[in-house]
Amino acid sequence: MTKLTLGSHPYLLGFEQLERLLERNAKSGNEGYPPFNIEQTSENSYRITLAVAGFCDDDLEITVEDRQLVIRGRQADDTGDRVFLHRGIAGRQFQRSFVLADGVDVAGAAMENGLLHVDLERAAPETVVQKIKISTR
């Protein structure tokens, strides 16, 4: 018995890239840190908000690599001579990845009260109607 995958299904032509994106995202192994929200702010815009308390602008890096938004955080270890009786504030490095659809671009990013906001915009697609001529043989 042959197992049909998304890219090999006979009615889904040209979706091989979508299958590769789903596999890549499943392998990314995103754990629960830092927590984040994704909200739709308008019909064609979105906002990803990450809780990055303790991180400053210089500790964070945002890149887009092959239609994948990657947010990395790394803090310098400045504990020095401090002795912690309890350390509950996470200060570890992290990497969060989000796959972006074609036409979705990063509009900007801002820090506010320990939250990193990354704004995304989708360009409004043009409606294209293509008429195919039928030839006779």
**pLDDT tens, position by position, 69-116:** 999 999 876 667 888 888 777 668 899 999 898 889 999 999 999 999
Q: Tell me, yes or no, whether 17 lies in a domain.
A: no
Question: How many CB atoms sit inside 10 A of residue 98's CB?
Answer: 20
Give CA–CA dist 10/34, Å, rounded.
40
45 domain-assigned: yes
**DSSP label at 135?**
P
* Number of domains the chain is built from: 1
Q: Minimal CA–CA distance to 70: which of 45, 41, 106?
A: 106
pLDDT at 45 > cutoff 90: yes
The 10s digit of each residue's pLDDT in 46-75 is: 999 999 988 999 999 999 998 899 999 998
Residue 57 is assigned to a structural domain of this protein: yes
How far CA 113 is from CA of 9, 31, 33, 54, in Å, comes to: 47, 23, 18, 10
Assess if residue 96 is contained within a domain: yes
Backbone angles phi, psi at 45, to 5 degrees: -140, 150
In a domain, 21, yes or no: no
Whether residue 3 lies inside any domain: the answer is: no
Domain extent for 104: 32-78+85-122
Collect all residues with Cβ–Cβ distance below 8 Å to 95 and sequence separation of at least 6: 70, 71, 72, 73
Tell me, what CATH number does 72's domain have? 2.60.40.790
Is position 50 within any domain? yes
The pLDDT assigned to 25 comes to 61
Whether residue 13 is contained in a domain is answered as no
